[in-house]
Amino acid sequence: MLQELAEAGGRIVKSGSGPELEKWPSRVAAARRSGRIPKTKELYGGWCRGGYEIKLVDVPAWRLAVLEPVPVPSRLTRPHTVVRAMQNEPQPLGLTKSVQGRALRLIQALITATEAEGHSSSAGQTGFAPPSHRRRRASPHFTITAQGQTVAFLVLQEQDRTEHVATEKELAAAKKDSWVRIPRFDYTPSERLRFVLSGGQPHRANEWSDTPGRSLEDQLAEIAQEVTLRGEAAERRRLDEIEAARQKRVRWEAAMEEARVQYAEAYRVRHFEAQEAAWRHATRLAEYVSAVRTRVDAMPTGQARSEAEAWINWAVARVERLDPLNTPPRLPDIPEPRADDLRPFLGHWSPYGP
C-alpha cells in the first residue's frame, strides 16, 4: 500500500463494494501500527464519494519541533498579576486546598513562558469551579492572547469515581417512594488537574490533564506551543481576509469601471436613437409644412393668406431647430452616473461598494 501511495503521489481511492472494500479501514489501521510509515509522514483513511480514500501526507512542522520544557517554580515568590488575583480569592479556581498551590504554580509557569513569546494574559473569573456539564462553556479563569487571538483557560480538578454503597436510609426511602433513585457512584476530588482551552483554531488538542504517564508539568510546553499556534493561525486568517477583501475590492473596482464604460455606451445609444426619432419627427413635420405651403399658395391674396404665410415661416424655423441634421453630429457629453444608473451593468455587485 505504501508503494502504491508513493507511485500515485500520496493519494489513492479504493473503489468497489462488498467485503473487500470494507477491509481497507482495518488495513490502514494495521499500516499505522506497523512502524513502516516514515516519521515525517501521516497515513489517513476515510470514506469518500468514490470509495475509500487513503492519503500519505507530511507531518506539520510544528509536530516535529523539539519543545523546551517549561520550568515550574517550586514556590511563588513573585506571582504574576493574574496569579495574584487568584490568590486573593477565598477558594482560587474553585479547587480544594490540596491542589491550589500546584495549580497556581502551573499557571505562573505557563503565563511566564507565553509572555516570553510576546503574548499577553489577563485574569477572568478566578474564584469558581464550573459544573462538569458546563466546563466547556463556562467563563474562563484566565486568558492568554497571541497575535490578537484570545485563548481562554479553565483549570479543573478531576474527580475519582467509586461504587456507591447504599445506606439504610437510602434503601428505606427508595422502598417507600418509587421515584427515589440511589446513585450508582460516589465522586470525590482527586489530585489530578485538567486544563481546558477554548478560542481559536485547535492544533494539538483542546484539553490537557494529568495522566499516569505524564503530568501537566511535562505537558506545559505543548500547551504554550498550542497558544502560539492558535495565534499564528489567527494572524494567517486575518491576513488572508485582508487579501481576500483587497482582491474583492479590485474585482469590484474593475466591475465599476466596466459598468461606467457600458453606461456611457448605453447613453450614447439612447442619444443616437433620440436623434433618429427627432429626425423622423422633423421629417414628418417638414412634409406637413410642405403640404400646407401648397394649399396656402392656392389661396387668394388677403389677410388669411398673410397669416398662413406667417405661420409657415414660424413652422419652417421650428422644423429646422428640431431637425438634428441641421447641426454637425457629435458624441454627447456623458453625465456623471448615479449609483442607480450603474446598477443594471453590475450584475451581482453593489454600486455602493464591494
Residue 46 domain-assigned (yes or no): yes
Q: What percent of the chain has pLDDT over 70?
A: 100
Residue 237 domain-assigned (yes or no): no
How far apart CA 159 and CA 129 sit, in angstroms, is 13
154 and 28, same domain (yes or no): no
48 and 86, same domain (yes or no): no
pLDDT tops 80 at residue 173: yes
pLDDT tops 80 at residue 135: no
Residues 6+ apart with CB under 8 A from 196: 135, 136, 153, 154, 155, 156, 206, 207
268 and 292, same domain (yes or no): yes
pLDDT tops 80 at residue 136: no
How far apart CA 254 and CA 347 sit, in angstroms, is 12
Domain of residue 162 covers 81-232
Cα angle for residues 287, 289, 291 (degrees, 5° grid): 70
What is the pLDDT averaged over residues 47-68? Answer: 91
pTM attached to this predicted model: 0.75
Cα angle for residues 157, 159, 163 (degrees, 5° grid): 170
Domain boundary among 202, 232, 262: 232
pLDDT score recorded for residue 151: 97
pLDDT score recorded for residue 140: 95
- For 7-20, how does the pLDDT look when each residue is reduced to its tens digit (9 = 90+)? 888 899 998 878 88
275 and 338, same domain (yes or no): yes
104 and 196, same domain (yes or no): yes
The answer to whether 200 and 151 have CB atoms below 8 angstroms apart is yes
Helix axes 303-322, 216-297, angle to 10 degrees: 150
- For 178-194, how does the pLDDT look when each residue is reduced to its tens digit (9 = 90+)? 898 988 888 889 999 99
107 and 224, same domain (yes or no): yes
In the chain, how many domains are there? 3
145 and 226, same domain (yes or no): yes
132 and 32, same domain (yes or no): no
6 and 144, same domain (yes or no): no
Residue 239 domain-assigned (yes or no): no
135 and 251, same domain (yes or no): no
Burial state string for 241-261 with b = 16 or more CB within 10 A and e = fewer than 16: eeeeeeeeeeebeebbeebbe
Residue 351 domain-assigned (yes or no): no
Residue 47 domain-assigned (yes or no): yes
Residue 247's pLDDT band (cuts 50, 70, 90): very high
pLDDT score recorded for residue 243: 97
172 and 97, same domain (yes or no): yes
Residue 220 domain-assigned (yes or no): yes
C-alpha distances out from residue 239 to 227, 234, 248, 252, 260, Å: 18, 9, 14, 20, 31
How far apart CA 126 and CA 282 sit, in angstroms, is 89
Residues 6+ apart with CB under 8 A from 288: none
Residue 223's pLDDT band (cuts 50, 70, 90): very high
Question: Beta partners for 353?
Answer: 350
51-65, 93-107, 144-158: range with lowest mean pLDDT: 51-65
Residues 6+ apart with CB under 8 A from 16: 51
The answer to whether 25 and 43 have CB atoms below 8 angstroms apart is no
123 and 224, same domain (yes or no): yes
pLDDT tops 80 at residue 133: no
- For 252-268, how does the pLDDT look when each residue is reduced to its tens digit (9 = 90+)? 999 999 999 999 999 99
Q: Which cell is 81 given?
A: 498579576
